[in-house]
Structure 1
Amino acid sequence: MNTDERLCSIALTLCPGIGHIGAKRLVDTVGSAADVFRLRTELPERYPGILHTSVVAALDNPAAFLQAEKELEWAEKNRVDCLTLSDERYPSRLRDCEDAPIVLFFKGNADLNRLRVVSMVGTRRATDYGKRFCTDFLRDLSELCSDVLVVSGLAYGIDVHAHRAALSNGLSTVGVLAHGLDRIYPAVHRKTAVDMLAEGGLLTEFLTNTNPDRHNFVSRNRIVAGMSDAVIVVESAAKGGSLITAELAEGYHRDCFAVPGRATDEYSMGCNQLIRDNKAALINDASDFVKAMNWGHGEESRKTAAVQRSLFPELTEEEMRVVKILSRDDLHINTLVVEANIPVNRMSAILFELEMKGVVKALVGGVYHLLA
């Protein structure tokens, strides 16, 4: 049995009847995609309830491995990174989502685990108001937080304007695609995509020869939401893909923001609706956003000295790790997950224990403060 985790992960996505959540659950439970195939006949007995016996036959799939070999060969030839769940470069925020892809294809140089990641999404029919917001917001954000990674979908409208504004202001930016890396859609964004390879990159879960069909964009949106700390909806009609992304962000416990507009403006109706329903916080500019996310660098928010272990003798090793990280600054739970390399569900439990011990305090927006 082949033990290349990349090959096995690709092959697992090609086995019928398993799906995103099923594949993720299998890999998380068994330990690796390679072990899923190696132990396929034993899975129903070893892990009752996780895999129906009727699906075991789907794992005996030589055709899936043949196609996976072709995909991996193409990726290596074109210098595309194949990131499995066990790869340290895989977006750790996304890894904690139950429907996260078990394999991603990435071309570029961005750190997908940057400490600060924001997704900007919106209508494909962006107005001058929305375009101007992207330009002004990312210009100001680059001055307030120069280390932010900007994520969007390389689509018409707000998406591509967010990417271009990020590039113009020296911010790294990643486009999440609804098709394979063997094409760029829409083709008119090719130059922007090429520019992004030098200052960010392109990311997808889809194999080559995949058409950018409508349902793929919905699937793509969960990656846009899941790999970020916050989602900003710049403009949206009363119905649209951006609202789906906002919904996904809420489900993943990500912060969500919306840019308000006039009640009569068609492409502000969705944003106003999110704000009205308390599904997104209102922001007017980058300063509002940075304050809400507690991403400021002011000296008043920094601790003057590192907290010593002797001050907290009752803490576990994991709790102490979190305390040491928080000794530098107040941080969002997603940032703690990345820095401490602790899964989000475990991190939530640790932070709860630290609150009960009077060591940390929960602030608004999922931010935690170390009590001196």
Structure 2
Amino acid sequence: MIDNTELWVRLARVPRLGGQGIQKLCQRIPFSSLWSSDDTALRLSGLSDKQLTAFRAPLNASQQHALRWLEADNHHLIHWGHPDYPYLLSQIASPPPVLFVAGEVTALSKPQLAMVGSRQASIDGREAAYQFAAGLVIEGYTVTSGLALGIDGCAHQGALEKGGQTIAVLGSGLSKIYPAAHRELAKQIQSQGALVSEFFPDTAPRPSHFPRRNRIISGLSVGVFVVEAAEKSGSLITVKYALEQNRDVFALPGSIYNPQSKGCNQLIKSGAKLVETPVDIIEEVGVLTDCTILHQSEEQSRGEDNQQLPFAALLDTVGSDAIPVDVIAGRCQLPVHEVMMQLLELELQGQVTAVPGGYVRTRRGK
């Protein structure tokens, strides 16, 4: 047998599977039984021959490095369905199956505002990024960005120097900090927030990684604030994801003579909110902020009472007879995807078991 961490490391490297694919797989085979299931059962549950080969293959060098990396202090693997997996991120169209995290895991579940912008930022743009980040953390928000040169770095620094939390989402593995000029900044972020990546720790940065990183930046956040961006800036990719994820988009206006402001000015013309102070942002992001706080409070209250089982309302609907997921969702009045996340967590804890036709209760608390 292999432990749960190695099982997630294996699943994360299965091509074209992803978080939702793992969720569907676990609807057919209990997570705890995936490794011990025979190949025929895994094929019938949806794995292709190529996926099955990747799942069964001996751990490659990257996977072995990841397991060693996870042995260090404050190094974590947060998987789909884990109680620390960020709620807002779990709601996007393609949530990563695992996140590698260095630093404070709980920072990922706090209300976050993304700040992005040009790598070739002007002096005014850098100052604005610093000051807005400082203002946002004073109001209790975590500032999330991508550790890039320019606006990203200034946003992280503004948050850090005001004693707030900041999260950096990388387009590389966490053993390959990029850009190298921000290695010291990354250390500060790890001690006062978190470094996050969906890529295995030894993964080098590649151009194709950064759009994927950007969907996580917006997915973690209640809104995206573009401080300074050229007409074809990579920051606008983050905006595209934000709109797809129903996040608010904000932009700082700039001079018509500054090419680094053309992207922001165009966003404002297209409907993004023009921002002059942090208050302009905070006034607009109330609903998602409240949702994040509520979800975090529910998780904390469940953890504070050791005698109370997690997802008690859902557990009350599951008994000794198999109950389909859609029936459970109807009884709990919850979306099916949220019910699946709760069931996966309960399965990992040994509370329920997936069987043909649905789920049954396997253990009851006091």
Query: Which TM bucket (shorter chain)?
Result: 0.7 to 0.9
**Superposition misfits of 4+ residues, deviation over 6 angstroms:** 349-352
1:20 is aligned with what amino acid? G
Aligned residue identity for 1:281: K
The answer to whether the aligner puts 1:182 opposite 2:182 as a matched pair is no
2:165 corresponds to 1:172: yes
Asked if 1:136 is matched to 2:134, the reply is no
- Over the matched positions of the two proteins, sequence identity in percent amounts to 31
Residue 105 of structure 1 aligns with an amino acid whose one-letter code is: F
Alpha-carbon distance, 1:131 to partner? 1.0
Q: In the alignment, which residue of structure 2 is the partner of 1:225? A: 218
Alignment partner of 2:66 out of 66, 71, 80: 71
Aligned letter for 2:70?
A
Question: 8 Å contact 1:5–1:84 — kept in the other structure?
Answer: no
Answer yes or no: is the 8 Å Cα contact 1:131–1:161 preserved in 2: yes
2:350 is matched with which residue?
A: none
TM-score, structure 2 length as denominator? 0.74
SS of equivalent to 2:208: helix
1:114–1:102: structure 2 CA closer, same or farther, 3 Å change rule?
closer
1:308 is aligned to: none
Q: Supply the AA of the counterpart residue of 1:188.
A: A
SS state of the match for residue 72, structure 1? Answer: helix
The residue that corresponds to 2:94 in the other structure is 99
**1:163 Cα offset (Å):** 0.3
One-letter amino acid of the counterpart of residue 78, structure 2: L
Query: Are the structure 2 counterparts of residues 27 and 260 from structure 1 closer, same or farther at C-alpha, using a change threshold of 3 Å?
Result: farther
How far apart, in 1, do the equivalents of 2:207 and 2:179 lie? 13
1:114, 1:149 within 8 Å by CA — same for their partners in 2?
Answer: no
Aligned to 2:119: 124
Please tell me whether the aligned partners of residues 9 and 34 of structure 1 are also in contact (alpha carbons under 8 angstroms): no
Partners in 2 of 1:28 and 1:95 — Cα distance? 16
Report the CA distance shift for 1:171/1:77 in structure 2 as closer, same or farther (over 3 A).
Answer: closer
2:248 to 244, 255, 276: 255
Amino acid at match of 1:210: T
What's the counterpart of residue 281 of structure 1? 273
Q: Structure 1 residues 84, 286: CA separation in 2 closer, same or farther (over 3 Å shift)?
A: same
Equivalence for 1:20: 18
Gaps of 5+ in 1: 296-329, 353-372
Deviation track 1:190-237 (CA, whole Å, cap 9, x = no partner) reads 221111122112111111331111011111111111111111111111
Q: Does 1:200 align with 2:193?
A: yes
Q: CA deviation at 1:122?
A: 0.7
Are the equivalent residues in 1 in contact too, given 2:254–2:264 (CA < 8 A)?
A: yes
What is the alpha-carbon root mean square deviation over aligned residues?
A: 2.9
Partner amino acid, structure 2, of 1:120: M
Query: Separation in 2 of the partners of 1:104 and 1:200?
Result: 15
CA displacement at 1:93 relative to structure 2: 1.4
Quick one: which amino acid aligns to residue 255 of structure 1?
A: D
- Are 2:137 and 2:143, in contact at CA under 8 Å, matched by a contact in 1? no
- Between the aligned partners of 2:55 and 2:103, the Cα distance in structure 1 is 34
CA distance in 2, matches of 1:32, 1:70: 27
Q: Secondary structure at the match of 2:158?
A: helix
Q: Does 1:293 align with 2:285?
A: yes
- Can you give the 5+ residue segments of structure 2 that lack an aligned partner in the other structure? 300-310, 312-328, 336-366
What is aligned with 1:366?
A: none
Asked whether the 8 Å contact 1:82–1:103 carries over to 2, the reply is yes
How far the C-alpha of 1:293 sits from its partner, in A, is: 2.2
Structure with the larger RCO, 1 or 2 (CA within 8 Å, 6+ apart): 2
- SS of 1:57 mapped into structure 2: helix
1 CA distance for matches of 2:101 and 2:18? 19
> 2:106 is paired with a residue of what secondary structure?
coil
Change (3 A) 1:351 1:287: farther
How far residue 24 of structure 1 moved from its aligned partner, in angstroms, is 4.8
Give the secondary-structure state (helix, strand or coil) at the position aligned to 2:168.
Answer: strand
- Residue 274 of structure 1 deviates from its aligned partner by 1.6
- Residue 121 of structure 1 aligns with an amino acid whose one-letter code is V
- Matched-pair contact (CA < 8 Å) for 1:230–1:256: yes
List per-residue Cα deviations over 1:341-364 (Å, max 9, x = no partner). 69xxx8xx9799xxxxxxxxxxxx
